[in-house]
Chain A
């Protein structure tokens, strides 16, 4: 177990280094120059050069890279070109919002997904099953931004029940959480269905049934725990990606999270901010994966890490 974690951590550091190098090169080599985001459309070339040099953008790219790495090693993510604030502070400031949205979406997705999956599996081929499959296929196929807009039309414009943008009391989180969570819910439903049906055919389930245990007891106590491993993987990975901030959902609903921050960074060519949000996102994603791997042994003691 200990060796496993150490090995994963070493791998994580390597992955992060690769990501930094890749994203850094990408930002520097695609066309465009951050100075044009700050100077407007009527600027003399002297000012352009001064701004460029103030941000260290006139240094050769390798020098900029090693300077950035040096800064990172000191725990400094750099300063936003636009606001001048430390990038770390900006991300931490937005993270609670993203966390709130991700958790709500995930709770919704897990509950709905499990429920649909179990309903399907308990009577495969029946009307309920076919309905659930239809719902989950729709959920997977629908593009996120389109679904978000449809929700706004129905719940904000036509019914006037829920606000379409901004942040405030709990009503504000409902539409973004539904938008974000639907796809996961659909996947969870499908995986749960398949996995539960697979486990249902196993010998220990037949034994349990022969013992005369009640249907629900078999389903929840014996089948579900064994069927959960792929579901947990899915939840963990999705949650990891939600915690990066979901650019589309956050933009549609004006949710002030990390995804919105990343988008602002990209629009302005705010290199430190782009690097910071990508790095932060990758870090969270890697952590989520490690936690998922470790949790397998909890659900199924047969899983070992040697």
Chain B
């Protein structure tokens, strides 16, 4: 009996050390959800975007500090009035089938997004291009503002100056592709080797890729829907890099994996939105009472273990070049009580995190005499209720499509974007509209930032949102991964530079 126990003990000790690795050429990653599509024109979620960025290239791209770098284009000129963009393509960029990437391919890739049959919801990326509206409506066969004068040059003319345009061209949707019989070929560092739906996606090195830094022969994405299972797989060394939410972070921290954590500020804002078309939320003073009733610092401390940054404006501070204002000091919670003649409907989606946040908010409001009814809907039903304005308030987050303060102001608060276009609170303020329109067209970066700040101040003053917090991005990286960089945008990681050591 004692001997058996001894054998069992030895077995336990030696079997406990996992993480034996015989494949040093494959990077193992986790997908929490299967991407719905890998078609750049249709991709709208982070899972598809992250993979598309590795199998496709765009004219320009972002580095890990959000600086714009050349990708397919080796250089570009922007006219002084900010209306004309001329891109010069690199001459050695090839699709993974070996054919050269020409200016005509760039033009076709962009046109495809605007074609009605493509059913892309990213048409707004090119809405400022001259003739785009006519092309979308089917009145013309070509976009007048997009020309390829020779093989290596593409000229894009805008109807008016639009400063974020260059950033938008780095989005995965603006990938340069080649279509043949519904097959999409890319020119990125990797290409798709296998897509076993529901199980895994395997990328392999694109032999035709001319850029530097592709050190992995393969990237293997495993579909692991359950967070707990993913953590377990990481602990067994079967996942190299794992994105973490806060419960996963806590679990790994307890298990002693703290040394493997990386984090950086995320480009997102969590908020409570008001229905600005409905009483009493059509009045900024009333909105402020609601906003100031919430002690976000307490929520951050007790729900998030201080792992998120409090938000004092809709724009993540990094996009307004920090050192902004003393908003933090202006933020004083109210203690006055008010009374309304009806309870208010707070709409949230069905996640545990949202539920606990909503319940705490409910508690804070109740302390000020405000009654709240929480309505939970699944993600899809939630979005529908949002678009149909079936709420008094809701809790949601906004994540950057591209790193520009405009992305946190124009879609979300401009009066022309009510409903599904982003302004779900149906906020409208002529002064703000004028400022943000001016900012979008301002080519001077300093002046533009100042306009953004002014516009942001209006939003803060008007409080169509209760600004809650900016989440940080966290991930855990195995010790054998070398030269790992954490990117602030899910699509700026092209899977290059990273290595596995023996």
Contacts and interface: CB of A to CB of B under 8 A. Distances in A.
B228 A47 contact: no
Given A159-B15, A268-B380, 17 more contacts: A31-B377, A32-B380, A32-B384, A36-B384, A40-B121, A41-B44, A45-B419, A45-B420, A45-B421, A48-B420, A156-B236, A164-B236, A165-B230, A166-B199, A254-B222, A254-B225, A260-B198
Interface residues of B, number: 53
B235 interface: yes
Interface in B351-410: 377-381, 383-385, 387, 398, 401
A32 B378 contact: yes
A269 B380 contact: yes
B380 A54 contact: no
B136 to A, nearest CB: 8
Interface string A130-166: 0000000000000000000100110011111101111
B385 A251 contact: no
B381 A164 contact: no
B385 A165 contact: no
5 contacts: A37-B380, A39-B44, A42-B411, A42-B421, A252-B228
A157 B232 CA distance: 6
A91 to B, nearest CB: 12
Nearest to B237: A160
Given A40-B45, A50-B116, A253 B229 contact: yes
Given A31-B385, A157-B235, A254 B223 contact: yes
A179 B230 CA distance: 18
B419 A160 contact: no
A61 interface: no
Interface of A: 30-34, 36-45, 47-48, 50-51, 54, 82-83, 90, 93-94, 149, 152-153, 156-161, 163-167, 251-254, 256, 260-261, 263-264, 267-269
A38 B121 contact: yes
A165 B44 contact: no
B5 interface: no
B265 to A, nearest CB: 21
B44 A44 contact: no
Contacts of A51: 119, 121
A38 B233 contact: no
A82 B44 contact: no
Contacts of A253: 229
Given A31-B377, A163-B238, A166-B222, A42 B422 contact: yes
A263 B198 CA distance: 11
Nearest to B120: A47
Nearest to B225: A251
Nearest to A51: B119
Contacts of A167: 199
Nearest to A270: B36
B34 interface: yes
A32 B349 CA distance: 12
B229 A252 contact: yes
Nearest to A159: B15
Task: Name the residue in A31, A33, A251, A263 with the highest tally of chain B Cβ atoms < 10 Å from its Cβ.
Answer: A31
B502 interface: no
Contacts of B2: none
B401 A54 contact: no
B380 A33 contact: yes
Contact of B381 (A30, A82, A153, A252): A30
Contacts of A33: 380, 383-384
A274 to B, nearest CB: 12
Contacts of B37: 82-83
A138 B160 CA distance: 70
Given A37-B380, A159-B15, A43 B36 contact: no
Contacts of A164: 229, 232-233, 236
A41 B401 CA distance: 10
A44 B16 contact: no
Contacts of B384: 31-33, 36
A37 B36 contact: yes
B121 A160 contact: no
Contacts of B116: 50
